[in-house]
Amino acid sequence: MPFRYGKAVLTAAPLLHVRVSIADKEGETAVGYAADCLPPLWFDKDPSKTFRQNVEDQLTAFRRARQVYLVAGERIRPAYEIWKDAYPKVHEECARAGLNALTASFGSSFLERAMIDALCRLKSTTFFDALQCDLLGLATAKLVPAHAAESIHIRHTVGLSDPLTRGEIPPTERIADGLPQALEEDIETYGLSYFKVKVAGDPERDLERLSRLAALIHQRCLGGYKITLDGNEQFRDIATLERLLEALRSRPYGKEFLDAILYVEQPLPREMALDPSAASTIASISSWKPVIIDESDDRLDSFARATGLGYLGVSHKNCKGIFKSLSHRAWILEQNKARRKEKAPLFFQTGEDLATVPVVPLQQDLASLAGLGIDHAEKNGHHYFRGLDHLPPAEAAAALAAHPDLYDKRGDFIHLKIQDGVVLLRSVLAGGYGYSSAISFDDRVPLADWTFDRLDAAPARG
């Protein structure tokens, strides 16, 4: 199902899987994995670049990161120390290749995630237990909750082109695949009460769509609901966003919708968002609802700089790096000690998604969210992609067998199990870095043999 965010429409994407082998001082070895979709116009929103160029840039970032981590990992030491050494060098190498910092972080993230996965398997432990025992080399025991949450609320993405009602889907565009398509069907099927709503920066169009959403969600979510707004860098000034929200207030159920908003995500383009001149406008809207950074979180100090301008939150995404998210959490906890005494608004982390699909991308991110203590998160891979259809059949069946609380079988396909707006995490927290089922790495197309023509011709399994 097409996913429109910002200026991009995603209809297919490569899914890169990375395998890393590690060894300890005793010569014991283990293998770990990481994986992610390679999407258009998110890491780099240069409108002159094609999807093909975006993917090539992301693969270049991974290849540069691979070489850096192989050198950084020659000497046996804790995973965090390897990452701390490698991360800035990856950014330097990617800058030489003309890549931006967010793309560089993406390349690094594959290696750090796979390294952590391998370490958990080497020590026969889970990611949450590894955090509680400071196994990674970073003082994480003081960062994690006393107990990992066994479930998490799904914050459903409402993309810019997603149909809201059954009636607005033309017969020729109805997808008869056994999954809900219109938002009202999603609410009925999954019992949703958390939503992430994309806005386009077009006040007239946004107002009409938000007005319809306010009425629909009011009618369908009788037990109440929560909203986050995602600007996806589409607003050139905060005043436009403020006028939009003020206009919505006078529409039916508009005030209720506004009251339900938890925060506003990255309304300004990244080249403007952290400019000191933005401070007054960010402070203006933050006095009403918190504003968070997402795309602007491209360096280790980005969030600290953002808070100086009035931002209160930062997104977690595994694709930006789990060590960075852990570092953000440590900084937030320390800063909030003083802010509580001052009765100032607290800093926070959120969970956002970049089409994480099963098994590895989705489940590692769910494990990260549990470790970070985030209790609701955007998840949209199950909405825009059909369950586990992209996987080799045996791997999909293995995932269902190992994670029956997370997946279900409906007819001829396996899909994410969402009940009352919640997914269960017990099996995610029980094995390695988020998953216990076998990964059929050899069933993937080797990177040396992969070409973009495969995606153009037939986006298929693997």
- What pLDDT is attached to residue 456? 65
Residue with tokens 């007819």: 411
- What pLDDT is attached to residue 423? 98
Euclidean distance between CA atoms 344 and 328, whole angstroms: 19
Q: Pseudo-torsion of CA 111, 113, 119, 124, nearest 10°?
A: -150
* Encoded tokens for 282: 């960010």
- What pLDDT is attached to residue 6? 81
Euclidean distance between CA atoms 387 and 385, whole angstroms: 6
Euclidean distance between CA atoms 312 and 207, whole angstroms: 25
E strands present in 276-351: 291-293, 313-316, 348-351
pTM across the whole model: 0.96
Segments of the chain scoring below 70 in pLDDT: 456-462
Euclidean distance between CA atoms 225 and 29, whole angstroms: 47
Euclidean distance between CA atoms 116 and 138, whole angstroms: 12
State the fold for domain 151-430: TIM Barrel (3.20.20)
8-state DSSP, 428: G
Cβ-based neighbours of 4, under 8 Å, separated by 6 or more: 10, 159, 160, 161, 162, 198
Query: Residues 35, 355: contact at Cβ < 8 Å?
Result: no
Sequence ranges of the domains in the chain: 3-124, 151-430
8-state DSSP, 44: -
Q: Supply the Cα-derived Rg of the chain in whole angstroms.
A: 21
- What pLDDT is attached to residue 197? 98
- What pLDDT is attached to residue 287? 86
Cβ-based neighbours of 154, under 8 Å, separated by 6 or more: 190, 192, 194, 376, 377, 378, 379, 418, 421, 422, 423
Alpha helices in 123-235 (DSSP H): 127-132, 183-190, 203-220
Euclidean distance between CA atoms 195 and 231, whole angstroms: 14
CATH 3.30.390 fits 3-124, yes or no: yes
Euclidean distance between CA atoms 7 and 198, whole angstroms: 11
- What pLDDT is attached to residue 453? 81
- What pLDDT is attached to residue 457? 56
Q: How many CB atoms lie within 10 A of CB 448?
A: 5
pLDDT tens readout for residues 68-101: 999 999 999 999 999 999 999 999 999 999 999 9
CA angle 172, 3, 361 (to 5 degrees): 130
